[in-house]
Structures are given as C-alpha cells and as structure tokens.
Structure 1
Amino acid sequence: MSELHKTFAKSKLAKLPPDVPMYDETLDEARDEEGSSASSVSSTGTLVPSPTHHLFARRSQGTSQSLAWTDFFAQELFLSEEVDDLHIIHHIYVTPPTDSGPLFVMHHGAGSSGLSFATCADEIRKILPKAGFLSIDARGHGRTVTVPISEKLDQDSPSTAAVAQTEATCQVELDLRLETLSRDLVYVIGQAKSKLGWENLPDIVLVGHSLGGAVITDVAKNGELGPKLLAYAVLDVVEGSAMDALQNMEKYLSTRPTRFPSLASGIEWHTRSRTIRNTTSARVSVPSLLYEESEPSDGSRPWVWRTDLSVTKPFWENWFIGLSRKFLDARGGKLLLLAGTDRLDKELMIGQMQGKYQLQVFPEAGHFVQEDQPTKTAQVLVDFYRRNDRSALVLPPKVADMQAAAAMKKGTGAADKNNQLK
C-alpha cells in the first residue's frame, strides 16, 4: 500500500468511533514479508494479526454463527474400509449431478476439510445447475475417522456421536503420504459410485486446494480415472513456493492460537485474522476444523483443532516435490488458479509461455481463493469445464462422407434434369 493510501485510510478511520481499531502499518509489512510463505503448505496459513485487531472482541450478532453443511450439499456419506490394520470411515459431502452433468471432485488442503468448498460448490450450482459435487474429508481431517481394527466402529451406523468420540480419544499414527491420499481419493470415488447406484462415473473435473492440489495432480498423472477425467484445477499451490514455505511453517504454527473459548470465537479468529476473508465461507467451513474437548485441559478454552498440523511435518516435502512437472505432464485440461503471480516457479512460467495450461490470478484473494472469492472461482471453474466438455464438441464431417454426399447430390440433380427433359 502506498503512503498516499495509508494517509487516506488513517484520516478516514480517525473519524470512526474509538472502539474501531486504527490501521496498522505492520499488517502490510507482514504481508510483504510473508507473502505466499506458509500459506502454500498449510491451508490455515495467514498473517499473525497485531494486538490492535481484537480477535475475540464482540462482533455483530449472527456474523459468527455456524452454518449447516446441508445448506450447501445434498447428502453426506460414510464409506468404511479396512486397510493396513486400520479401520477407516471416509467422510464425504455429495450432491449428485443431473442430466449427464459433470462431477466436480474436490480435495481440501492440510488442516482444512471438505467444507472448504461449500460456498464455491453452491455458486457453481447456480451457474451450472446440472453439476454434481463430491468433496472429501482426508485422513485426519474433518469427520473422517481412522482407528485400529481392534477398535472398529459400527460400519452400518457411524453416528455423529461415535465419530466425535473417536476423533477426540483415539490416537493413531496417520499415514499422510501423497500416494496414500491419492489412493484414498480414487477409492472414495469408486465407493461413491457404488453407493449412489451410478452405472458409470460422470465426467469428472478434479479440483484441489493447496495439499489437495498435489493430490489431484498425482491422481491425474497416474491416470486411474481413465477417460472419465476431463480436466483438473489446482488452487493456489505450486512446487517452488510451497518448498520455500516449509522453512516458515513451524514458526507460523507456533504463532496461531491452539485453543478457543467457543466455536464462534474460532470463526471470528479466521475472519479477523483474514485467514478466510469471506464471512459466509468461514461460518460453514471453520466448525469442521474444531471440536470441543469433553475433558479440556483449559476449561476456559475447550475448543481445539481437529488436525494437529505439526504432526504432518514428516510429509511436507513428499507432498510437493515434483508437483510442477506432474501438473504439466498429466493428461487432461489444466487450470492453475493463484492468489498472486509471485507464486509461479520457473517450470510453470515456461509452461505458461508455451500455452500448456490456463492461468487465472485473483490478487484480491488470500490463500483460500475458493472461500475468499467463491463466485469468481465458481465462474472460472464452470468456464474451464465448458472448454473441456467433450459432449459440447461438434466435429466436422469426414472427407469421405462429404464426397459421398456430393456425389449423391450430383446424381440426384442429373436424374431430375433427365425427368424434366422427358
């Protein structure tokens, strides 16, 4: 921000009531210094707010009340699986497509959940009513549960209470390697097909944010979805900036709150710290990131993170090494949607100049581009789908067919002429 803009902002804010925090220059300085650092690795990455921002101050009534997932998706599915001595109940949010519409398969970033795409999916549906959605909670995230087989849950009725209790009390060493998360996504798509009674998979557009971008790119590169994969879109992550950000992740994690006095205060922290810049998005997605401890170590702040990002450290490099090359080499339409061009690395710059993929930049958005700008993101994704929709292609007729039609027309014309002479 220029000095002129700062002066103007200060003059305007000075006229407001004294309980409104004044403009803080350290915010811009922090944004310039941090930029795309930790945000490319953690889906909860943000700036450390200054003390003047009063993160837990009272806000207008209703702006921090949670919103139900049912306002954005048609149903949820719990898909049971036993693998590697573990019992996993994969949790997904689904809205089936209609009239041969596409299925947008969405994968969130580290520390987030499937509801990170709730408002974006809702906006896509307004533009493309026939579209369907499948948004996954990855292992160790949201309401997906991973327990030892010895503590197996009832797969026929994985109740909310059982899921919440297991998340709070059962600790397992999570396998969050890229290949494991990719396998999970392919498995969930196949199980959803069976559960929903689809004879064939719809045409699929993969959409991944941050870590999710690495997962969907890996799935696209492996080709496990075959011809059903039309295209894939990666949101605000590239290999270069993500690898650079690893140096700052531990510092970032040490600065964010570990506990909250209430769910509403957790929502407020995300909006006031500008981690999520859209209040509606925060109200639907943040509740899935936190849970209330039944026996909290701090009774005044019983709400804690569902996902401990610090334990994911061993997997950070595995997620992003080779991402740019895989993104460029995988088959299908390619879209890279970023919050700033500074995130592009050399390999992607060269690929962009060669026209190998579509690039879209939302400089007004933060790391959570699909939550900060759901309407614009939805329009870009719908346009992206339409450009890659094979059913909309009208192929020119074959040369042989054109020649045969011309000969037939010529013969018909000669016959008519002879009849006229007779």
Structure 2
Amino acid sequence: MDLSNLTSLPEESEEEQPHEPPRDKPMVSAFASRPDRPPTQSSSQKYSPLDWLSYFDREEDVCISGSNDVFHVYMAGTEGPVVFCLHGGGYSGLSFALSASIIKEKVRIVAMDMRGHGKSSTENDLDLSIETMCNDVFAVLKEIYGDSPPAIVLVGHSMGGSVAVHVAAKKELRTLAGLVVVDVVEGTALASLVHMQKILSSRMQHFRSIEKAIEWSVRGGNLRNIDSARVSVPTTLMYDDSKQCYVYRARLEETEQYWRGWYEGLSEKFLSCPVPKLLLLAGTDRLDKALTIGQMQGKFQMVVVRHTGHAIQEDVPDEFAMLVLNFISRNRIGPHGVEIPGLRRPLQSQT
C-alpha cells in the first residue's frame, strides 16, 4: 500500500463529456467547456492497457490441493534460480511485469497474485493474516515445484515484503537462497497504520473505464511509469455491475485487523533470515534502529533508489531488474551463479 499520497484527482478528463450535474449544484469540471483544437492523441489512447505477454512468457492458475483456492501466477525465463515475487497491498503480480522482461534473460521469474488480489480466487479473500499469506506462498511453491524446488530468491514489495520476510524467517524453504525487500520498514509502516483508512478512503473509488483508472494512478502520483501502470493497473480492478463502473479488486479497508501483524517484529525477523539480504528503499529516512545497527554491522545490503515512489519496481523497472540480477550474481545464487558482464565478484565469493 502506498502511504505517501493522500491526493485524488477529478475523474473527468478531456476525452469525455462529464455527466450532467444535479440542478442545484454548479458545474465544477475544469473541462466543462473546451475550445476547439486540432485532434491529438486522446487520454484514453495514452492510458490504454498494455498486454502482459510483452513482458512475461505465460500465466497459470495454481490449484491448491485440498481446497478451492486458486492462485494466478505469471512466469518467464527458462533456466537458473527463480525470482519469486510478492506484490504489495492493492497491487498485483503484474506490478513486476516490466522488470520481468529484463530479469528473464538471466534467470526465471514468477509473480504471484496474492490472496484477494488480481486473478487469484480463494475461499476467504479477506483473510490477509500474515500466517495465511505465508501458507499461500508455501502452497503455491509446493504445487509448482513439488519436493525439488530450485534455488529461490524471494522478492517482496510493501505488504509482500513482510510476507517474504516471514516466509524466510520460518526457515522451512530449504532452497531459499536470497531475500529482497522493497520499500517496507517496520517502524515507518507501523507509524503509518493510524492513517491507513483515511488514505484508502481518499482514493478515487469508482472509474467509468480502465483508462480512467490508469490515468488516475499516474496523475495522482501512485505510479510514475505510464507503461507499467498500463500493464499492472487493469488487474487491480473489477467491474461492479450494480454500480456500472470499475472498482478496486482488493478490499483492503476490510482487512484492518491484520495490518499490524504484517509489520510487528519485521526488522528482527529480517535480520535473522540466514540468507543474503537486500533492502531497497525509496528514501533514506526510513531505517529504524534495529535496521540501522544491522546495516552498520554488514548484515544486509541496502540501496536507496533515487527519484522513485513507493513502487520502485514499477517506477524504475530497468534499475530494479539490474539490482536484483546483481544481487543474484554477487551472491552466486543458483547452480553456477549468474554471470553479468562488468560486475566484479567479491573476493570471498571466489573461494
């Protein structure tokens, strides 16, 4: 969940005439009267959806044995370790689409639609407890890879970052080889929870078209990369027949009872994970005391990614992909490591 933006934009824009307002209220749309002008690319074209097949290779529905739960995953790449991606609250697996087109050239990548998100369907979409989401990850990995999983690098953004840390801290995934956490820190996250309902309610709730939702996500500052938004935003929506508009797929405002459990104790769990760790942050002011000490002791690698918002993997997908690949190469993850030209390995990894 993006905690940094409380603004919303008017849903109306230039390519559509606004609905007639109630007679007792004045017209407030900035586009109520438009001057004639030469035709240009319309907003609906600029913000039209992009096909995920340009980035991932395939999609699959993973049916969980003994339940009616079905998790949707996007996959790409043919060899090497698996970068297993967990998105943030309100996002979907396609949050990693643009990065996947680069990552798949060196390793495999799988991005999962979490419970209550994207195209996944479960018996209880509102059970976003940390324990349930961890069990979902274990179940999906078991269904895909059986008892012989390849080397796994868990990558988690925001809520998905907390899930990745909890999964890693359980030490039950024997082929876990690396952990990448994207823009989530315990102290900052816990302090933000008191504002979360206000943030969620301040978002625009209804969209007459998918293009409108993509436009709002970019112009409102939630996402800064138009192409990424054009791929990822459509699967965060569903059509409400009763309201005849698009609404958010994830009902995050109804899951408040689980939020604190995502983040409490997160820093210590992260530091305790016995694998190489990378923390990617969008700002330098987000480290709490435990992480500050751990970073000074060299217990994990930290990179501050400049000029980006909360969704680093969407805003700067090329940079994000190279940070992940460099992390894999530096730590020789996989049967032979991943050779990346121009990257010198640390001496200790050559022994």
- Give TM class, smaller chain: 0.7 to 0.9
Partner in structure 2 of residue 153 of structure 1: none
**CA offset digits 1:95-119 (Å, max 9, x no partner):** 2432xx1210000011111011111
Equivalent of 1:204 in 138, 149, 152 = 152
- TM-score between both structures, scaled by the size of structure 1: 0.70
Partner in structure 2 of residue 70 of structure 1: 53
Which ranges of structure 1 fall in alignment gaps of 5 or more residues?
1-41, 148-171, 397-422
Partner in structure 1 of residue 261 of structure 2: 318
- How far, CA to CA, are the matches of 1:57 and 1:249 in structure 2? 31
- How far, CA to CA, are the matches of 2:256 and 2:272 in structure 1? 27
Partner in structure 2 of residue 184 of structure 1: 136
Partner in structure 2 of residue 224 of structure 1: 172
Kindly indicate whether residue 35 of structure 2 is the aligned counterpart of residue 56 of structure 1: no
Displacement of 1:173: 6.1
Displacement of 1:202: 2.1
Kindly indicate whether residue 113 of structure 2 is the aligned counterpart of residue 130 of structure 1: no
Partner in structure 2 of residue 234 of structure 1: 181
Distance 1:218 1:394, change over 3 A: closer
- How far, CA to CA, are the matches of 1:357 and 1:81 in structure 2? 34
Partner in structure 1 of residue 83 of structure 2: 104
- How far, CA to CA, are the matches of 1:314 and 1:303 in structure 2? 26
Instruction: Give 1:281's aligned amino acid.
Output: S
Instruction: Give 1:139's aligned amino acid.
Output: R
Please give the residue correspondences for 1:262-411 in structure 2 after superposition, counting only pairs within 5 Å.
Answer: 262-293=209-240, 295-297=241-243, 299=244, 302-390=245-333, 391-392=336-337, 396=351
**CA offset digits 1:317-373 (Å, max 9, x no partner):** 011111000100111000000000111111111111111110100131000000001
Count residues with an aligned counterpart.
Answer: 313
Asked whether the equivalents of residues 46 and 273 of structure 1 are also in contact (C-alpha less than 8 Å), the reply is no
Partner in structure 1 of residue 32 of structure 2: none
Q: Match of 2:46, SS?
A: coil
RMSD: 2.0
Distance 1:394 1:232, change over 3 A: closer
Any runs of at least 4 consecutive aligned residues in structure 1 with deviations exceeding 6 A, and if so which?
none
Displacement of 1:57: 3.9
Asked whether the equivalents of residues 127 and 255 of structure 2 are also in contact (C-alpha less than 8 Å), the reply is no
Which ranges of structure 2 fall in alignment gaps of 5 or more residues?
16-41, 338-347
Asked whether the equivalents of residues 55 and 272 of structure 1 are also in contact (C-alpha less than 8 Å), the reply is no
Displacement of 1:50: 6.6
Distance 1:385 1:309, change over 3 A: same
Instruction: Give 1:271's aligned amino acid.
Output: V
Partner in structure 1 of residue 197 of structure 2: 250
- How far, CA to CA, are the matches of 1:242 and 1:60 in structure 2? 35
- How far, CA to CA, are the matches of 2:125 and 2:58 in structure 1? 30
Instruction: Give 1:282's aligned amino acid.
Output: A
Displacement of 1:133: 0.8
Asked whether the equivalents of residues 56 and 269 of structure 1 are also in contact (C-alpha less than 8 Å), the reply is no
Partner in structure 1 of residue 345 of structure 2: none
- How far, CA to CA, are the matches of 1:257 and 1:209 in structure 2? 23
- How far, CA to CA, are the matches of 1:176 and 1:222 in structure 2? 18
Asked whether the equivalents of residues 114 and 137 of structure 1 are also in contact (C-alpha less than 8 Å), the reply is yes
Partner in structure 1 of residue 100 of structure 2: 121
- From the two aligned structures, give the one with the greater helix fraction: 1
Q: Match of 1:331, SS?
A: coil
Equivalent of 2:126 in 164, 167, 174 = 174
- How far, CA to CA, are the matches of 1:63 and 1:328 in structure 2? 43
- How far, CA to CA, are the matches of 2:141 and 2:13 in structure 1? 40
